Amino acid sequence: MKNVKELIVRLLSLTALTAVMSTCLMSCSSTQEDEYYDAYFTAMDTQITVRLARDSGQRDGKKTVYFEDAHLEAVAAECADIAKRIESIFSRTDENSLTYEVNGAADTFFLLDEEFCDLTKRAFDISAKTNGAFDITLGTVTELWDITGEAPAVPSDDEISEALTHCGQDKLTLDGTTLTKSDRLTKLDFGAIAKGYALSVITDHLKSTDILYGLVSFGGNVSVFGSKGEESKFKVGITDPSDTSQVVGYVYVDNGYVSVSGDYERYFEADSVRYHHIMDPATGRPCESDISSVSVICNNGALADALSTALFVMGSDAAMEYYSDGPYQFEAVLTLKDGRTLVTGNLESKALFEDTAPEEEGQQ
């Protein structure tokens, strides 16, 4: 069993990057003196920030040569295009998306898009390796609850039982690029993995450009890439679920991904009960976990996203055991409903997690 550190939550009063993210569509902020060029846009129902280092790495004598705004704007626009393309494949609600088509009542789909098939296979694999805690076949359940819809209401027990009969990986067979549904009503929901996947694709793209370093923030997911020189790590604040304007601490990330799943992110309230968006596949209801949020740090965006959801569903004891004995390499910060924060062993020993910091890069 790896060492697990229990941190007493210490609230910090800090402004956060997210507070600055108020503009939608493609807008940007930057002056020549700024270290970063920031671009903001919306995709997958989420506000996205692309933060690019302005330093080109070139020197004119002793002077730094900065990229032109037009260049940085073009690179950020490429990121926005990638996000839109991935949205058009994996959105559950967009009537023009491939996922929407697959979710329609039909049996077999031939020659599906390769990217769709690849992520579906990875999702099935993660589902198997998390004992079904992460499950992309929950579409009928998430649609029934419609937590982020216009007028969400608590469904009846019968409705939940009925929706659950259409869930489960055994209802789908993926053979190459052909998908067969044994239950026409089964629906896919990539909500717990698609943003992290998009983040990976965008980050890989940025690494292939001449941008030296930066970060991308995509809802509850953030990636950092490149090297800042001597100070190579980015500091990412972990939101305090009991007061989302505060953080419980910071992780330091160097070329990696942080993904957060929290009960404070998307929810509705009825009769003073909070119904959040992370479903327990065993019950078809919002998961009654002792966890309020899970932040996963690892080197793959899709995995970080899926794992943060899965660990939330598992609950803290099983999640910490999974960290020790499970198949994946990752680190995690768990904030519990009782106010404690659990940190996995390597974060502690490598001093990647702190509960105080003088200034921040961003907050998740």
Strands 279-280 and 46-53: what pairing? unpaired
By beta-carbon proximity to ligand AMP, the closer residue of 55 and 135 is: 135
- CB of residue 350 vs ligand AMP: minimum separation in angstroms? 25
Residue whose CB is nearest to ligand AMP in the complex, by number: 191
285 binds, among Mg ion, ligand AMP, none (CB under 5 to 8 A by kind): none
Longest dimension (CA), the chain: 73
Q: How far lies 117's CA from each of 122, 125, 179, 331, in Å? A: 9, 12, 8, 28
Which residue of 292, 309, 344, 363 would you call a contact of Mg ion, by CB under 5 A?
A: 309
User: Given the rule CB under 6 A, which of 71-79, 187-195, 197-205, 343-351 is the region that contacts ligand AMP?
Assistant: 187-195
- CB of residue 45 vs Mg ion: minimum separation in angstroms? 14
Which residue of 38, 55, 189, 331 would you call a contact of ligand AMP, by CB under 6 A?
A: 189
Spatial neighbors of 241 by CB under 8 A, at least 6 apart, are 262, 263, 264, 292, 293, 335
126 binds, among ligand AMP, Mg ion, none (CB under 5 to 8 A by kind): none
Tell me how far apart the alpha carbons of residues 199 and 193 are, in angstroms, rounded to a whole number.
Answer: 10
Q: Tokens 């950092």, residue? A: 224
SS (H, E, C) 305-322: HHHHHHHHHHCHHHHHHH
191 binds ligand AMP per the rule CB under 6 A = yes
Element (H, E) at 256: strand 256-262
Nearest Cα to 83, choosing from 196, 226, 208, 220? 196
200 binds Mg ion per the rule CB under 5 A = no
Q: Specify whether the CB–CB gap between 78 and 71 falls below 8 A.
A: no
Which residue of 102, 249, 277, 352 would you call a contact of ligand AMP, by CB under 6 A?
A: 277
By beta-carbon proximity to Mg ion, the closer residue of 30 and 91 is: 91
Which residue of 53, 75, 164, 192 would you call a contact of Mg ion, by CB under 5 A?
A: 192
One DSSP character per residue, 74-121 reads HHHHHHHHHHHHHHHHH-SS-TTSHHHHHHSS-SEE-S--HHHHHHHH
278 binds ligand AMP per the rule CB under 6 A = yes
- CB of residue 19 vs Mg ion: minimum separation in angstroms? 23
By beta-carbon proximity to ligand AMP, the closer residue of 73 and 143 is: 143
Tell me how far apart the alpha carbons of residues 140 and 181 are, in angstroms, rounded to a whole number.
Answer: 14
Which residue of 261, 289, 295, 341 would you call a contact of ligand AMP, by CB under 6 A?
A: 261
Which residue of 36, 41, 116, 134 would you call a contact of ligand AMP, by CB under 6 A?
A: 134
Q: Which residues would be at the binding site for Mg ion (CB under 5 A)? A: 192, 305, 308-309
